[in-house]
Structure 1
Amino acid sequence: MVLKLRVIGLVAAVALSTGALSGIGSVITAAPASAASCTVTHLGWWSVKNSTCSSARHFNVIKGTSYKYAVWVGKGGTSSQTACWSNATTYGFDVKI
């Protein structure tokens, strides 16, 4: 069974207008007792680094439409968006432990 968690970093619209585009510095998600902890770092508007999870991917939420997903990456990889959307409202990541 794959445990899938979704975490969304929320950033106020004011941050966009002032250029403050940094996200959560590091996130550790809770895992079941049978699995090791899962860690991602460097979460921002364009990418997330997968430190210890089986797989991770970055996403952006586009205002009024849907999600834009980057590719899944394994441990040690960085999931990065292929484009920049001016109407992105939030960002986050998915992980598979």
Structure 2
Amino acid sequence: MKEEGATREEAESAVEHVALVDSSLGYDLKSGYKGKKRFIEVKTTEKDKEADFFFTINEFNVLKKLNANAYIYRVTLGDKDPEIIRNPFGFRETEDFEAVAFKANLSDF
């Protein structure tokens, strides 16, 4: 994830792995190189970058609110460069996607 015009060291020092501290933020990485902010959710797959991937309603809401500063990096293990999706949810709504999970609590059973 190298920012344009940056050395590898400069780009790497601008990235903070925020999900290590708080996994509820809606993104995994935060970058602030030369005043350009990126909030990055990383989605990985072993082989097929075209395979479906999953995101939470929190990720959707947070990234949608961040607009052009929001990114999804689609990483295929073994590939050098990720597919980068800027403003991934732009004008999309949750109804544009297939819902595949349910929320439950122990008291529900």
Same fold (TM over 0.5): no
What is the TM-score of this pair, normalised by structure 2? 0.27
Greater strand content: 1
Which structure's CA Rg is the greater one? 2
Greater helix content: 2
Higher relative contact order (CA 8 A, sep 6+): 1
What is the TM-score of this pair, normalised by structure 1? 0.29
